[in-house]
């Protein structure tokens, strides 16, 4: 008996569920009972705090999933999978434990059951596959659709998608990059899925000609986007996903929609103009873990204009990364004021620089450039901070060092905020 059948969940049921979620997401109108489902969900959900934070979530991990799985059990399974590079083992009840790093570098363990997995697979295909890619799946006279997936870790979540008409090849980012390139050239994927910085690297060196390119797991900056689109000759689509679930994706008009059909999202505003916010996520569709008013560290920028695609969910101008990517400087009054990562990135786009990393240590910023003009970067940063009316930090230029490609590429990071009177430096959150 297969493991799936043993869990009372046959492969046929799985396939039917995926197909149902696919059809519902792609072709059916948004369900009208959203409010009712949300209310029912909130009435059932365990309540620990008004706003759920990551430390609280980890503290109550076992009570916040329907199977009583402890954080230690989940972490052990997820870490063993990473270590042994075998991502198939499940916890009792067909639960998969995975490690996610979302847009940040901090890993978080998450649980998904088979129903969650099927919903995820159906929704993901419905939202991301182009009509041409779908036609290839349905057309039995052509070879199956080939998807290449570059990630630090695979998961049952992703391989759920594999079928007769859909080939799914996992490229393990902990392997040497050259080896992956050779494999990619042989595999010739129709759909290429990878973190933004990996896509940028593939754009430089790969010979593959995918019909669809999808960026995941990292913030895609404008410069990388332009390089990737030029190299592959197609528009890059984006998936916004974290341990907290499938949070959003771009539509055919290139706008990032939040997945409000399955999630209830409350903005926690960061500015008076109601432009930037941390989202509070309530996932009323997930079966395994309870996510109730779960605060994400990501900074989202709202786009208030309706999207021409007609989908009525919140859309974003951008995802600006995590709270730790915000740098802090004192203004004229001595109070700390944020410098958002997106603003820094924009200031650097126009400069002659290949890659960069900026790390804040109080009033000292360590800047590393690959093939960059230090003088030009220095004056661009000074002009930006002058414009923001902020105190200038000491810019310390250091030699470039490569980060392993399996690591999340953090370009901007705050290690320590400057002190404000009285002299108490605060660790960046």
* Binding interface with Zn ion (CB under 5 A): 251, 253, 255, 307, 309, 311
**Pairing of β 145-151 and β 191-195:** parallel
End-to-end CA separation in angstroms for the chain: 49
Supply the minimum distance, in Å, between the C-beta of residue 149 and Zn ion. Answer: 24
b/e map 287-319, b = 16+ CB within 10 Å: bbbbbbbbbbbbbbbbbeeebeeebebbbbbbb
Q: Between vectors from CA 274 to CA 322 and to CA 255, what angle results, nearest 5°?
A: 65
Cβ proximity to Zn ion, 312 vs 389, nearer residue = 312
Supply the minimum distance, in Å, between the C-beta of residue 253 and Zn ion. Answer: 5
Cβ proximity to Zn ion, 308 vs 354, nearer residue = 308
Cβ proximity to Zn ion, 195 vs 248, nearer residue = 248
Cβ proximity to Zn ion, 71 vs 309, nearer residue = 309
- Picking from 228, 429, 240, 257, the residue whose alpha carbon sits closest to that of residue 327 is 429
Cβ proximity to Zn ion, 183 vs 312, nearer residue = 312
Cβ proximity to Zn ion, 92 vs 310, nearer residue = 310
b/e map 62-78, b = 16+ CB within 10 Å: eebbebebebebbbebb
- Peptide bond preceding 187: is omega within 30 degrees of 0, i.e. cis? no
Supply the minimum distance, in Å, between the C-beta of residue 118 and Zn ion. Answer: 25
At residue 16, φ and ψ (nearest 5 deg) are -65, -40
Supply the minimum distance, in Å, between the C-beta of residue 307 and Zn ion. Answer: 3
Query: Could you tell me the two tokens for 427?
Result: 């660790």
Supply the minimum distance, in Å, between the C-beta of residue 249 and Zn ion. Answer: 10
Supply the minimum distance, in Å, between the C-beta of residue 252 and Zn ion. Answer: 7
**Pairing of β 256-258 and β 245-250:** antiparallel
């Amino acid at each position: 008996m297969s493991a799936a059948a043993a869990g009372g969940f046959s492969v046929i049921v799985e396939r039917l569920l995926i197909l149902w979620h696919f059809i519902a997401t792609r072709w059916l109108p948004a369900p009208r009972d959203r409010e009712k489902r949300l209310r029912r969900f909130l009435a059932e959900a365990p309540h620990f705090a008004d706003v759920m934070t990551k430390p609280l979530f980890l503290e109550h991990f076992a009570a916040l999933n329907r199977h009583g799985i402890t954080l230690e059990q989940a972490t052990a399974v997820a870490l063993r999978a990473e270590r042994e590079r075998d991502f198939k083992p499940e916890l009792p009840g067909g639960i998969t434990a995975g490690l996610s790093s979302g847009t940040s570098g901090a890993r978080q363990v998450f649980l998904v059951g088979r129903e969650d997995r099927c919903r995820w697979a159906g929704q993901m295909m419905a939202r991301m596959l182009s009509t041409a890619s779908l036609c290839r799946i349905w057309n039995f006279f052509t070879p199956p659709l080939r998807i290449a997936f570059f990630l630090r870790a695979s998961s049952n979540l992703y391989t759920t998608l594999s079928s007769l008409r859909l080939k799914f090849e996992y490229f393990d980012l902990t392997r040497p990059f050259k080896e992956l390139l050779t494999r990619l050239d042989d595999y010739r994927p129709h759909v290429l899925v990878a973190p933004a910085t990996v896509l940028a690297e593939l754009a430089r060196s790969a010979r593959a000609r995918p019909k669809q390119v999808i960026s995941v797991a990292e913030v895609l900056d404008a410069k990388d986007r332009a390089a990737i689109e030029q190299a592959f000759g197609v528009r890059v689509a984006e998936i916004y996903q974290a341990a907290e679930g499938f949070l959003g994706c771009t539509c055919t008009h290139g706008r990032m929609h939040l997945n409000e059909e399955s999630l209830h999202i409350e903005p926690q505003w960061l500015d008076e103009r109601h432009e930037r916010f941390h989202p509070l996520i309530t996932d009323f569709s997930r079966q395994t873990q309870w996510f109730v008013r779960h605060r994400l560290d990501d900074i989202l920028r709202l786009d208030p204009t309706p999207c021409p695609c007609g989908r009525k969910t919140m859309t974003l101008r951008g995802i600006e990364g995590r709270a730790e990517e915000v740098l802090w400087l004192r203004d004229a009054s001595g109070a700390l004021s944020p410098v958002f990562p997106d603003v820094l990135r924009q200031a650097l786009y126009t400069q002659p620089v290949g890659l960069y990393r900026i790390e804040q240590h109080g009033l000292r910023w360590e800047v590393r450039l690959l093939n960059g003009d230090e003088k030009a970067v220095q004056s661009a940063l000074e002009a930006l901070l002058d414009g923001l009316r902020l105190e200038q930090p000491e810019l310390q230029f250091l030699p470039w060092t490569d980060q392993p490609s399996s690591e999340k590429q953090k370009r901007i990071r705050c290690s320590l905020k400057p002190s404000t009177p009285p002299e108490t430096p605060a660790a960046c959150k």
